[in-house]
Amino acid sequence: MRIARVLGAAALLLGLAAAPAAADSSPSPSADGGAPTQAGTSFRTATEIEQGQRATASGSAGDYLYWSFPADTGQRPTVKATVKLPDTHAAQTWQVDVYDGLRRRQACQYGAQTRTAAPGTSSVELACVLRTVRAWAEPWANDPLPGTYYVRLTVTGVPTSDLGLPVGAEVRVDSKDMGGAAAVDGSLAQPLVPGVAMKTDDEAALFDLDPDDGWSSGWWSDRWVWTAAGAVLAALAGIGGYALTRGSGRPRQVPPGM
C-alpha cells in the first residue's frame, strides 16, 4: 500500500508537470477578418501581420513583396506563401526569404523555399520552417532572437516577356511552441523590434505589432516545472526505497536455548 501511494503521487506530479507544456503547444484560433490585403515594397514599409492570420496582396512579376510579424522566445515559426499566376506564362522561379529584426537572413530548417512553376501552372506554394527563436545568443551568432521578422516574396527567375504580369500572393505564419527544450540562460534587454530601443512612452516603435500575450521575459519556461517535478519524484523515490528496506522495525525474537 505504501508503494502504491508513492507511485500514485509520482503519477499525479507528472500529470501536473505535463499539463502546462501541453497547453502552451496548442495553437490559438485566429480569424482572417480584417487581414491585410496589400504588401510593402521594402523592409521599412513591410505590412504587419499577426501569426495565424492569412494576408493577401496583388502585385506584378518582378515586384518585391514584404510582410512583417512578431516571433517570441520558444516559438518555431513556419512561413507559408502561395503565388497565384496568370493563365498564360512562361516558367517562373519564386522564392520566399525570412529576415530577423537586424535584417539578417535566417536559414530554413526545411521546406520548399524556392520553387519553379512550369508554363501554364496556376499557382506555386512555398514554405520555410525557421529554427526555434532563442531568448539570448552570442553577438557573433546568427541565431533567431525574439522580435520582428520580415517575409520577402519575389520571383528570382523569369523571362523578360513575363515581367509585369499580374500575380496574387497569400502569406500565413504559424508557430509551434517548443517549450523548455529550447530554453537558454539569459535574455535580451529588448526584443529586436526596429525603433523600440529609441522610443519613449509617448512614441511608437517602427513596428508595434506584439505577440498576443506580450513579449516573454526570457527567464520562465516549463523547464522549471520539470525540474521541480524531478526533484519531488527523487524525494518520493528515496522515501519509497527507505520504506522497502527498513523492514518492520521490530527486533527478531531469538528462540530459547539458541
Top pLDDT among 179 and 47 is at 47
Beta-sheet strand order (sheet of 54-60):
54-60, 166-177, 75-84, 123-130, 108-110
Determine which helix (DSSP H) or strand (DSSP E) holds 25, and give its type and residue range.
helix 2-25
pLDDT in tens, 6-27: 444 444 444 444 443 333 333 3
Kindly report the average pLDDT of the chain as a whole number: 78
| 187, pLDDT greater than 50 | yes
Top pLDDT among 3 and 43 is at 43
User: How many residues does this entry show for the chain?
Assistant: 258
pLDDT number for residue 253:
60
pLDDT in tens, 72-88: 988 999 999 999 999 99
| 174, pLDDT greater than 80 | yes
Closest CA to 32 of 20, 16, 18, 49: 49
pLDDT number for residue 229:
64
Residue 189 — very low, low, confident or very high, per pLDDT cuts 50/70/90?
A: low
User: In angstroms, rounded to a whole number, what is the distance separating the alpha carbons of residues 124 and 158?
Assistant: 14
Lowest model confidence (mean pLDDT) among 39-43, 143-147, 181-185, 217-221: 217-221
| 157, pLDDT greater than 70 | yes
User: In angstroms, rounded to a whole number, what is the distance separating the alpha carbons of residues 80 and 75?
Assistant: 16
User: In angstroms, rounded to a whole number, what is the distance separating the alpha carbons of residues 162 and 90?
Assistant: 7
Mean pLDDT of 54-70: 96
Domain segments of the chain as ranges? 7-230
Top pLDDT among 191 and 10 is at 191
- Which residue has 530554413 as its cell numbers? 108
User: In angstroms, rounded to a whole number, what is the distance separating the alpha carbons of residues 227 and 221?
Assistant: 11
| 115, pLDDT greater than 80 | yes
| 255, pLDDT greater than 90 | no
Half-sphere CA count of 124, side-chain side, radius 13 A: 25
User: In angstroms, rounded to a whole number, what is the distance separating the alpha carbons of residues 157 and 168?
Assistant: 17
142 burial via Cβ count (<10 Å: 0-12, 13-18, 19+): middle
Lowest model confidence (mean pLDDT) among 186-200, 203-217, 231-245: 203-217
pLDDT number for residue 147:
93
pTM of the model: 0.69
pLDDT number for residue 190:
80
Top pLDDT among 109 and 139 is at 109
Question: What DSSP assignment string belongs to 204-254?
Answer: --S-----TT----SS--THHHHHHHHHHHHHHHHHHHHHHHS-SSPPPPP
Neighbour tally for 200: CB within 10 Å: 6
CATH class, range 7-230: mainly beta
| 135, pLDDT greater than 90 | no
